[in-house]
Amino acid sequence: MIEPLRIGMVGGGIGAFIGAVHRHAMRLDGRCELVCGALSSQPDRAIVSASELGLPLSRGYESWEDMLAREAELPNDQRMEAVAIVTPNHLHLPVAAAALNAGFHVISDKPATRTLKEARQLADAVQTSGKHYALTHTYLGYPMVREARRRVRSGALGRVRKVYVEYTQGWLASRLEGDNKQASWRTDPTQSGLAGCIGDIGSHAHNLAEFVLGEPMTDVRAWLQAVVDGRQLDDDGAVFFKMGEDVSGVLMASQVCAGEENYLRLRVYGDAAGLDWVQEEPNTLMVKHADGRQERLRAGSNMPLGSDVAAMFRTPSGHPEGYLEAFATLYADFAKQVRGIGDPFVPGIHEALRGMAFIESVVRSSESGGEWREVTHG
């Protein structure tokens, strides 16, 4: 048994949604341990949150600057090794850069930064520091997404030509800003960055497509809208895109689809077969063949999937895993990466750059009235 990775958390205190999810994900596989935190931008709230989580009094910090400074003074075998960033977007870069500079690894919520320019600064900081940087693109942690990638790359679909990827939610169908903390910062350009919906969830759809295809999205033509009156950032968008040589696609993202939960779906079509995956029932992957055969692939440690994929499951088929398990895989693999165990895939600075390039190109295309824009990060 390897020592768990010691993690300090920035953000994610009382009332935050994603902080608790990160902590569940850390704990599930026992490869990470929360040892300290600066859990709120309000010092007293930060302290109370740390206490409620059972952190030692000395390691609930009033600010992330404090945390970085004082943890660095602890003995090597006690101090935190990595910082988990779960703040609103505008803090992602400053915290990550400072943590990396201070010699800590970083695992951060997405989007990595507010702009592509910031993402490039982050990439420099990662390179200079020599530390690991992970971006929690949770959906890449689903085993059936890995199986999808494996099938695409093995040529099982034939020559791939068409992609539909969509992500719809309903929770911003009305004007919640002001009352709801999550809604407030996500719709505020100073905290969220260039984009609203397309940054928040469109970036997941983009990331999923690039991951499964193994190809960059090269060009986009976009239409972003603020559907709800008075909203400052987009809450709905659609994008035509090109990938690699031959692939075209449509990406849709919306947070105003009243009644939708968290509908992320990817369809990929080659000339021999197509595949279809829906996040809300993540344990099924459909593969439909041109000759009419349809395979229903089901999740489970004992199922006929790629051996590396089957090895990801904690349970045999019929014992469904879900979102927290996908998230836990990212944390466990991050810990393995830091510890030098195997060569796990962990989304990182490449995905950060790609994501910000996507967001920026989409926003610029939409502003231009829908011109084609290249998606380059480099």
Residue placing its CB nearer to a second copy in the complex, 181 or 319: 319
Least CB distance from residue 176 to a second copy, whole Å?
Answer: 11
> Is the Cβ of residue 41 or residue 182 nearer to a second copy in the bound state?
182
In angstroms, rounded to a whole number, what is the distance separating the alpha carbons of residues 203 and 167?
10
Closest CA to 254 of 328, 138, 167, 194: 167
Report the residue number, 122 or 257, with the smaller CB distance to a second copy: 257
Q: Least distance (Å) from a second copy to the CB of residue 187?
A: 16
Give Cα separations from 101 to 69, 82, 97, 104, 362 (angstroms): 11, 12, 6, 7, 31
Is residue 194 within 8 Å of residue 115, measured between CB atoms? yes
Please report how close the Cβ of residue 211 comes to a second copy at its closest, in angstroms.
Answer: 19
Give 259-263's long-range contacts (Cβ < 8 A, gap of 24+). Answer: 259/170, 260/168, 260/169, 260/170, 261/169, 261/170, 262/167, 262/169, 263/166, 263/167, 263/168, 263/169
Asked if residue 43 has a cis previous peptide bond (ω within 30° of 0), the answer is: no
Nearer to a second copy, 96 or 213 (CB): 213
Q: Please state, in angstroms and as integers, the Cα–Cα distance from residue 124 to each residue in 89, 119, 131, following that order.
A: 19, 9, 11
The rounded distance, in Å, linking the Cα atoms of 200 and 245 is 28
> Strands 133-135 and 217-225: what pairing?
unpaired
- Shortest separation between residue 50's beta carbon and a second copy, angstroms: 9
Nearest to a second copy of 119, 217 (CB atom): 217
Nearer to a second copy, 185 or 372 (CB): 372
Whichever of 25 and 96 has its CB closer to a second copy, that residue is 25
Q: What are the C-alpha distances in Å from 292 to residues 131, 159, 184, 374?
A: 49, 18, 48, 37
**What's the min distance (Å) between Cβ of 143 and a second copy?**
12
Residues 6+ apart with CB under 8 A from 94: none
CB closer to a second copy out of 124 and 261: 261
In the complex, least distance from residue 245 CB atom to a second copy, rounded to whole angstroms = 12
Q: What angle do CA 213, 216, 221 make, to 5 degrees?
A: 110
CB of 117 or CB of 318, closer to a second copy: 318
Nearest to 201 by CA among 247, 166, 163: 166
Q: How far is the CB of 360 from a second copy (least distance, A)?
A: 20
Q: Which two tokens stand for residue 263?
A: 């509908």
Least distance CB 72 / a second copy (angstroms): 25
Helix or strand (DSSP H, E) at 357? helix 349-367
Q: What is the closest distance, in whole angstroms, from the C-beta atom of residue 162 to a second copy in the complex? A: 6
